[in-house]
């Protein structure tokens, strides 16, 4: 069973893997190896390349799937010629971060470094001039590159990594599933790891439209979401009421939040409207979905996003950051959520008691 040290090891490994929308192979390989070591789990791959991990054996309840995505915004090299690499940037990052930006190829040890010399924000296509011209590195079509970022000063209790969004979500989901394997009453709990979220929820939409997950599934979307003024790093994982696009399933959200409070788990309940997530996509296609997330610093590697958006500072790409305490509490929160989803919500009974005690105030037949 994954204790804190093991879960944190998985977190560090996953968040340092090269990945991009449609180019999640390193993460897929890691997860396939992880699942293969557990003979009580079944891993299937749907027609869109999403990974579905379920527990073997008879289930007494409809599935609860914790969903996280395996990609992160990145440069994907499409051609290399004469010391220059053409790329497609996949994911949402402000155009200001590209002008003259230093990048490094992370998908191979000899990939080399370079500098962005052109970028079209309309198409996402641009050119990197590789350092040392044609003799530089070994960059090839299909390689993944990221901003060249300095290693930050180590801070106790904080993880800084290239791709926390949403590889931290994947790590938390797998850690929770590894612990659930020891509980027969949670055999209906599984994982859905999706592709190309940063390109517009493409993998999640594919799974929903093609019903590659059962229609009766309840989905807990697990994300890393941009830190907000009232949702700070270190204040606990967030029971996410909604995102910038929609409000999630109210009944599921209430059950999860109340169960976490009853267990005394430090957490936050917030509308995280700094962006949108896959819970919106699943809800739009008829699935009941709720959301959990980690407050995230330097979202999409944009180290001074507020200054850039206000026109007040040069772009500074940085490693993303989360609280390790928040991460470990998120693993606990996922398991609490799985248990709470099928539990009778006490709010209806409480409201019935309030009506019974106070209906005399309404007079007439209502007071009888």
pLDDT at 40 over 50: yes
Domains contained in the chain, number: 2
Which of 11-20, 158-167, 248-257, 309-318 comes out lowest in average pLDDT?
309-318
Q: Quick check: 33 and 188 in contact, CB under 8 A?
A: no
- Rounded distance, CA 113 to CA 149, Å? 12
Residue 153 has a pLDDT of: 80
- Rounded distance, CA 237 to CA 187, Å? 24
Domain holding 286: CATH number? 3.40.630.10
- Rounded distance, CA 231 to CA 11, Å? 22
Residue 13 has a pLDDT of: 98
45-72 residue pLDDT tens: 999 999 999 999 988 899 999 999 999 9
- Rounded distance, CA 334 to CA 321, Å? 20
pLDDT at 339 over 80: yes
* Cis, peptide link before residue 166, omega less than 30° from 0: yes
- Do residue 205 and residue 307 come from a single domain? yes
Residue 133 has a pLDDT of: 47
Q: Quick check: 231 and 272 in contact, CB under 8 A?
A: yes
- Do residue 195 and residue 84 come from a single domain? no
Which of 23-27, 109-113, 126-130, 161-165 comes out lowest in average pLDDT?
109-113
For helices 25-36 and 164-180, angle between their N-to-C axes, nearest 10 degrees: 10
Give the tokens for residue 173: 């989901």
Boundaries of domain holding 288: 4-72+162-347
Contacting residues for 92 by C-beta, under 8 A, at least 6 apart: 73, 198, 300
- Do residue 109 and residue 193 come from a single domain? no
183-224 residue pLDDT tens: 999 999 999 999 999 999 999 999 999 999 999 999 999 999
pTM to 2 decimals? 0.94
Domain holding 135: CATH number? 2.40.10.170
Give the tokens for residue 47: 């027609």
Residue 132 has a pLDDT of: 61
DSSP element (H, E) containing 32: helix 25-36
Confidence of residue 134 (pLDDT cuts 50, 70, 90): very low
- Do residue 124 and residue 173 come from a single domain? no
Buried b (16+ CB within 10 A) or exposed e, 70-91: bbbbbbbbeebeebbbebbbbb
């Amino acid at each position: 069973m994954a204790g804190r040290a093991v879960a944190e090891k998985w977190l560090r490994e996953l968040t340092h893997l090269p990945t991009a929308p449609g180019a999640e192979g390193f993460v897929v390989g890691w997860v396939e190896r992880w699942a293969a070591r557990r003979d009580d789990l079944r891993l299937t791959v749907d027609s869109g390349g999403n990974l579905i991990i379920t527990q073997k054996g008879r289930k007494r309840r409809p599935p609860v799937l914790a969903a996280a995505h395996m990609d992160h915004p990145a440069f994907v090299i499409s051609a290399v010629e004469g010391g220059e690499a053409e790329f497609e940037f996949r994911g949402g990052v402000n155009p200001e971060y590209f002008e003259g930006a230093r990048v490094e190829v992370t998908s191979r040890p000899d990939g080399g470094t370079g500098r962005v010399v052109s970028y079209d924000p309309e198409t996402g296509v641009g050119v990197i001039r590789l350092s040392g011209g044609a003799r530089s590195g070994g960059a090839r079509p299909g390689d993944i590159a990221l901003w060249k970022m300095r290693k930050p000063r180590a801070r106790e209790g904080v993880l800084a990594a290239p791709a926390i969004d949403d590889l931290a979500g994947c790590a938390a989901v797998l850690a929770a599933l590894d612990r659930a394997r020891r509980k027969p009453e949670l055999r209906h709990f599984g994982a859905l790891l999706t592709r190309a979220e940063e390109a517009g929820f493409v993998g999640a939409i594919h799974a929903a439209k093609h019903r590659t997950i059962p229609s009766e599934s309840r989905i807990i979307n697990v994300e890393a979401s941009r830190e907000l003024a009232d949702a700070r790093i270190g204040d606990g994982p967030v029971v996410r009421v909604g995102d910038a696009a929609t409000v999630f399933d109210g009944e599921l959200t209430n059950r999860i939040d109340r169960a976490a409070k009853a267990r005394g788990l430090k957490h936050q309940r917030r509308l995280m409207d700094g962006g949108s997530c896959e819970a919106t996509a699943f809800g739009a296609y008829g699935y009941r979905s709720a959301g959990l997330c980690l407050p995230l610093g330097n979202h999409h590697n944009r180290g001074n996003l507020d200054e850039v958006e206000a026109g007040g500072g040069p772009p500074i790409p940085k490693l993303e950051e989360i609280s390790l305490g928040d991460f470990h509490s998120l693993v606990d929160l996922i398991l609490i959520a799985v248990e709470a989803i099928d539990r009778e919500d006490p709010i209806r009974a409480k409201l019935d008691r309030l009506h019974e005690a106070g209906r005399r105030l309404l007079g007439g037949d209502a007071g009888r």
